[in-house]
Structure 1
Amino acid sequence: MGLIGRRGFVAGAALTMLASTGASAREGGSAEAGADVGADPAERTRRAANAFRGVWIATVFNRDWPSRRGLSAQAQRAELLAHLDRAAARRLNAVLLQVRPTADALWPSPHEPWAECLTGVQGRDPGWDPLGTAVEEAHARGLELHAWFNPYRVANHTDPTRLSADHPARRHPEWIVPYGGKLHYNPGLPEVRQFVQDAMFDAVGRYEIDAVHWDDYFYPYPVAGETFDDDEAFARYGGGFGNRAAWRRNNVDLLVSEASARIKQLAPQVGFGISPCGVWRHSTSDPLGSNTRLGVQSYDSLHADTRKWVKEGWIDYIVPQLYWHIGHTATDYAKLVPWWEAVVRDTGVGLYIGEALYKAGDPAQPAVWQDKKELSRHLTLAKRYPGVGGHCFFAALEIDKDPIGAMAAVVADHYPTSVRPS
């Protein structure tokens, strides 16, 4: 089976796209909406056949799977296989399964307890191996399996006594920081950085996963009126930095660069991808930033220098979460797609766009999201930019429910045939 991750099936396709599309796209030349710049029909067909078509399956809070805690092993397995069947039926080619949602595991880990989302009791054996099953069954359906880990989130509450008795965070209370109603590992501690890598990469050594995948949770999203208390760690390790923000960014940089090196050493065939907040920095904050304004900037708010990770080649693909509609006044999808394409250009890093399927048909969203064609228009627009190697949809529950037929429209308009890794 080919690999979407490390320089494989889709990442390699993105590089070929850039090499074959001519100077107009590279130099920022304009194109009519929906036009695939510089490509003849055969080239467009080849690109489509090598496009990333992914879906996230979230387990935190039992969002997508399992549907509730405490199901039997047989019922959990049946629900998981149904998600994989639907992904294949929608002509997708990758599933990104959350296997370490809150510093616990969906496989028999020697480092962390069994995940609470399975049985309702953290540390209780569910009676089967969800990750092992997911890898085998995804591959049987021609799907890549990207193991999605959350490095620093410990719990969605602030009471360590609610963690399993043998949880590492209880054995090392000095590792955790309560903030925003949650418990987090402290990214400023080298021993934490070592531990979270050991915990995640146990799965890399055990299973034939196609990629390691992280989302946007590094330092936590800012909470008004609260302070992330890392004073002691900063006093101990931050002396060589001009300010705390620079030190925090370096802590996250170290996690990413060290993880990249470890994956290459442990399993060079396994890719490494990250799905960050869709805005690195606004152009009002940095001339290199995107033509956006307001809202979270990953560089400043989360201390995640996502642009640097691409430029340094530490990751194999990036999936910015562009969860806004075309024409959004502050963060326009149509402005962010070309910005990200320019970031990955000539780097060898694959670019796949994170799509807000969950907004389609949600009555709480603006009117544009009540139009089933909004997401299809996203994919049409992205075809103007040859560096875009595909899309990933949040999330599996909406693949199933599809209340207004938005995913069905994407499939009909853009996925006329199934895709299998070469």
Structure 2
Amino acid sequence: MKQSILILLFIAYTLQLAAQSFGKNGIYQPKYEVRAAWVTAVYGLDWPRSRAVSPEGIRKQKAELIEILDHLKAANFNTVLFQTRTRGDVLYRSKIEPFNSILTGKVDTDPGYDPLAFAIEECHKRGMECHAWMVAIPLGNRKHVASLGKASVTRKKADICVPYKREYFLNPGHPQTKEYLMSLVHEVVENYDIDGVHLDYLRYPENAPRFPDAYDFRKYGKGRSLAQWRRDNITEIVRHLYKGVKALKPWVKVSSCPVGKYRDTSRYPSRGWNAFHTVYQDAQGWLGEGIQDQIYPMLYFRGNHFYPFALDWQEQNNGRQVIPGLGIYFLDANEGNWTLDEVERQMNFTRTHKLAGQAHYRVKYLMDNTQGLYETLEEKFYTAPALQPPMPWIDNVPPTAPTELTVTRQVDGYTRLSWHPATDNDQRNAPTYIIYGSDTSPVDTSNPENILAQRVQGTEYTYAPVRFWTEKKYFAVTAVDRCGNESEACR
């Protein structure tokens, strides 16, 4: 009899745990998931709309970014891909390249604040990661390059730059190109509390048989075919940047957004347009070598042009995180003829097949709630917060647990939590804290519905419920390091 009761209790507890993994609407809510959005600065597509030419202009420009971040936070996004380098110009105080003119209306003009530093600070306040999205190889058209004048890399480092079809590019076949890109990445990683470096356009122009690298190919080809030499050049840049970042700050994620179709799959052809052949990206090779922490393949397709290729990336991930880029801009009638159910099916697919998350291109279509997408995410797919998936290939040792949690109910209706800190000594990779709360004790820290706050610094937190009838009674605190390792809970 006693044994039967224990079995029934175990089944009931198992069912309870299973139910807690689902949101109030019955849709599975993973505790670990990347939920990212690209914030595009080039041409001011997403941000900024105003110019920082006065104190009021600076305030408006900052307020525009805060509005975006608040919107993302309200829908439980946790990752911002913030455009940091566009076409040979940047959105931070650099000693190498000039400020982007989108900030002030003038090339190489300081906006009166550091946009990257501001973005990182505001993301971290909201418990979100900020990744520096850096366009790698393209340098812009002739007009743009001319507008940069002496500040352009085409003037400062002419040997590593080539013209092609009315545009300029860094030359991946020149050995100094990887050093130049690393100097920019080093500047960002060393000087900013960034969570990731996200590399875009790390590829050759599409279908570029006449790209002007014949001299370099003769000099450095060493018997390889032109196609293999070009792929090796891109891979060597990826390898150099990855190792350089890890030597500085091992927890900083290195990712890229390759062309969405790697090559033909056994399930469906790429119809001649893919990363491997068209732009010389051996991105699955990068995963296999372990020189990427995350991959955001630009899967801006639907139907059989999405699902077989997303599955192919996942099957070749080598334990790294694959986060498909979803082409939500196609929901706009001026961009395509997608309907909302296309994106919903892709969301369901990524979760069913356990990909690491989703990234949405671009944030404008979230802000505009195009076809109700933002509301669908907020009310259906992202109803609970999610933590960053861990990176065990970098570090798999959790921090020590915080201790002696004290809960003080205050007369103003707020609840003050305080605890003794984790005792880890690595100050550069010091843990932050996750706050959990529920109506039952002990607090179930496996249920993402119970996450109240993440990336909390210090050893105090004030809990202020939005509505008094949703107030939590019981609390727990864990420590988490920047590789995503979480400690035992202090309750």
What is the TM-score when the length of structure 2 is the normalising length?
0.70
Contact kept in structure 2, 1:91 and 1:411, CA below 8 Å? yes
Please give the residue correspondences for 1:126-145 in structure 2 after superposition, counting only pairs within 5 Å. Answer: 126-145=111-130
Contact kept in structure 1, 2:46 and 2:363, CA below 8 Å? yes
Return the structure number with greater strand share.
2
Task: Tell me which residue corresponds to 1:377.
Answer: 345
- Say if 2:212 is the partner of 1:229: yes
Q: How far 1:393 moved relative to its partner?
A: 0.3
1:242-286 superposed Cα distances (whole Å, 9 cap, x missing partner): 211111111111011111111110111211111111111114xxx
Contact kept in structure 1, 2:89 and 2:98, CA below 8 Å? yes
Task: Report the more deviating stretch, 374-383 or 122-131.
Answer: 374-383
Q: Supply the AA of the counterpart residue of 2:350.
A: A
- Say if 2:266 is the partner of 1:298: no
- Say if 2:364 is the partner of 1:397: yes
Cα 1:93–1:321 change in 2 (3 A) is: same
Contact kept in structure 2, 1:299 and 1:305, CA below 8 Å? yes
Q: How far 1:43 moved relative to its partner?
A: 5.8
Cα 1:295–1:70 change in 2 (3 A) is: farther
Task: Provide the rounded CA distance (Å) in 1 between the counterparts of 2:332 and 2:151.
Answer: 43
Task: Provide the rounded CA distance (Å) in 2 between the counterparts of 1:206 and 1:97.
Answer: 16
Contact kept in structure 2, 1:214 and 1:274, CA below 8 Å? yes
Cα 1:135–1:159 change in 2 (3 A) is: closer
Please give the residue correspondences for 1:245-260 in structure 2 after superposition, counting only pairs within 5 Å. Answer: 245-260=227-242
Q: 2:299 aligns to what SS in structure 1?
A: coil
What 5-or-longer segments of structure 1 have no aligned partner? 1-38
What is the TM-score when the length of structure 1 is the normalising length?
0.81
Give the percent of matched residue pairs that are identical in Structure 1 and Structure 2: 28
Q: 1:255 aligns to what SS in structure 2?
A: helix
Task: Tell me which residue corresponds to 2:320.
Answer: 349
Contact kept in structure 2, 1:160 and 1:170, CA below 8 Å? no
Task: Report the more deviating stretch, 65-74 or 112-121.
Answer: 65-74
Which of 273, 277, 288 does residue 311 from structure 1 map onto?
Answer: 288
Contact kept in structure 2, 1:275 and 1:318, CA below 8 Å? yes
1:183-224 superposed Cα distances (whole Å, 9 cap, x missing partner): 11111111121011101220100011111111244212236x
- Say if 2:376 is the partner of 1:409: yes
Q: Supply the AA of the counterpart residue of 1:299.
A: F
Q: How far 1:400 moved relative to its partner?
A: 0.8
Cα RMSD (Å): 2.2
Task: Provide the rounded CA distance (Å) in 2 between the counterparts of 1:241 and 1:299.
Answer: 20
Task: Tell me which residue corresponds to 1:157.
Answer: 142
Q: How far 1:170 moved relative to its partner?
A: 1.0
Contact kept in structure 2, 1:361 and 1:372, CA below 8 Å? no
Task: Tell me which residue corresponds to 1:358.
Answer: 329
Task: Provide the rounded CA distance (Å) in 2 between the counterparts of 1:411 and 1:309.
Answer: 34
Q: How far 1:47 moved relative to its partner?
A: 6.4
Task: Give the number of the structure with larger relative contact order, counting CA–CA contacts within 8 Å between residues 6 or more apart.
Answer: 1
Q: 1:404 aligns to what SS in structure 2?
A: helix
Q: How far 1:40 moved relative to its partner?
A: 4.2
Task: Provide the rounded CA distance (Å) in 2 between the counterparts of 1:98 and 1:190.
Answer: 26
Cα 1:148–1:244 change in 2 (3 A) is: same
Task: Tell me which residue corresponds to 1:280.
Answer: 262
